[in-house]
Amino acid sequence: MSIFKYPLLGNIVGNILVIVYKGQKVNVKIQSTYLVKVFVVNKLIPSSAVAITYGTKILIKSKTYNDITQRWLVLSHETVHIDQWCRYGFFGVGFLVKYIFQYCKYGYKNSPLEKEADEN
């Protein structure tokens, strides 16, 4: 059994992420120009978070995804992290190293990467 309750494939049309969730078409304005995969899960995400991004994959808690207002805000925020992953790279001094360093130095809310995602 997959840990991903509802795997979703997102397609980029212009700067709109188009996904289908239980037969419902969902459009999210994003910054990313990359193919995005969105997974609705209840595991793999820390209890203090509502979603996390790894590369071009977004894991979002089902409770958050089912709240339409939260869904737009969170997916928009997370797509900025996708751009950051692609900008800073996966290896070497990449996004993950930069994110952890900023998290430790500034805390979650004051991290420059989080501030950039919040400005979206």
pLDDT score recorded for residue 5: 40
> Can you list the alpha helix ranges (DSSP code H) found in the chain?
62-66, 68-88, 95-106, 112-119
Q: Mean pLDDT score of the chain, rounded to an integer?
A: 75
pLDDT score recorded for residue 20: 55
pLDDT score recorded for residue 102: 95
Q: Does residue 52 sit within a domain?
A: yes
| CA separation for the pair 63, 50 (Å, rounded) | 8
The whole domain housing 50 covers 6-89
What tens digit of pLDDT does each residue of 46-58 get? 888 999 988 888 8
Q: Does residue 84 sit within a domain?
A: yes
Q: Does residue 28 sit within a domain?
A: yes
The strand pairing partners of 40, in sequence order, are 6, 60
Q: Does residue 115 sit within a domain?
A: no
Q: Sheet containing 16-21: which strands, arranged edge to edge?
A: 11-13, 16-21, 24-29
Q: Does residue 78 sit within a domain?
A: yes
The model scores a pTM over 0.75: no
Number of domains in the chain: 1
Q: Does residue 29 sit within a domain?
A: yes
| CA separation for the pair 32, 11 (Å, rounded) | 11
Q: Does residue 114 sit within a domain?
A: no
The answer to whether residue 25 scores a pLDDT higher than 60 is no
Q: Does residue 55 sit within a domain?
A: yes
